């Protein structure tokens, strides 16, 4: 009886590992919205961390966390670090690594021992003052079988946060004050 039980356990372990390597090795989560604002206004908001906490879904979860902005005010090299005791927020850094005016902002995320990832904002003009904005996240899960299983949950973990953040970003962009003409 013990031999048979050990055999079933062994088969279960082998099957679990085999399935893990069939699962995707990369994760990509994307959400999009259309904003009634110019691509330049939207770019201004995502190309800097200065207003990030005004629309960040994670800041809302822990406004008492430690958030620091470093480096240039905007563009490549602008960086934000955060530390929170809230598990939904965690700790890490985010740095802008690519910035194409009115088109694209790409960031690198470092979650310490939990790994790293990339995020991006793809900005597409739609008419005069309409902007289609895609907020995306991608990461390589490597060969760790546990990571491969965890990867199945990223869509449900990150997707709702991205949707909420985009809703807040849309409201912020659509309510930005109009620039005043200079004399």
Interatomic CA distance for residues 149 and 69, integer angstroms: 34
CB atoms inside a 10 Å sphere around CB 27:
21
What pLDDT was estimated at residue 51? Answer: 93
Domain map of the chain by residue range? 25-174
What pLDDT was estimated at residue 15? Answer: 84
Q: Write out pLDDT tens, residues 36-57.
A: 999 999 999 999 999 999 999 9
Nearest to 41 by CA among 117, 98, 101: 101
Interatomic CA distance for residues 109 and 70, integer angstroms: 15
C-alpha dist (Å) from residue 130 to 34, 90, 133:
7, 34, 10
Interatomic CA distance for residues 50 and 43, integer angstroms: 13
Q: At 149, which helix (H) or strand (E)?
A: helix 145-151
- At residue 63, φ and ψ (nearest 5 deg) are -70, -15
Report the chain (183 residues): mean pLDDT per 10 consecutive residues.
87 83 87 96 96 93 94 97 91 97 97 90 92 96 85 89 96 82 59
pTM (2 decimals)? Answer: 0.85
Mention the CATH class of domain 25-174. Answer: alpha beta
């Amino acid at each position: 009886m013990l031999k048979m039980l050990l055999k079933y356990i062994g088969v279960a372990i082998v099957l679990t590992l085999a399935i893990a390597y069939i699962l995707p090795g990369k994760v990509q989560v994307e959400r999009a919205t259309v904003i009634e604002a110019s691509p330049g206004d939207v770019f201004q908001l995502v190309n800097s961390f200065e207003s990030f906490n005004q629309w960040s879904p994670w800041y809302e979860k822990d406004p008492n966390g430690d958030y620091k902005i470093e480096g240039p005010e905007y563009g490549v090299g602008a960086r934000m670090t955060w530390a929170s005791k809230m598990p939904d927020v965690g700790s890490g850094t985010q740095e802008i690594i690519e910035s194409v005016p009115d088109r694209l902002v790409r960031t690198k995320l470092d979650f310490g021992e939990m790994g790293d990832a990339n995020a991006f904002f793809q900005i597409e003009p739609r008419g005069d003052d309409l902007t289609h904005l895609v907020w995306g996240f991608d990461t390589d899960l490597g060969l760790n079988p546990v990571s491969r299983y965890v990867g199945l949950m990223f869509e449900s973990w990150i997707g709702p946060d991205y949707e909420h953040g985009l809703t807040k970003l849309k409201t912020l962009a659509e309510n930005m004050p109009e620039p005043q003409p200079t004399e």
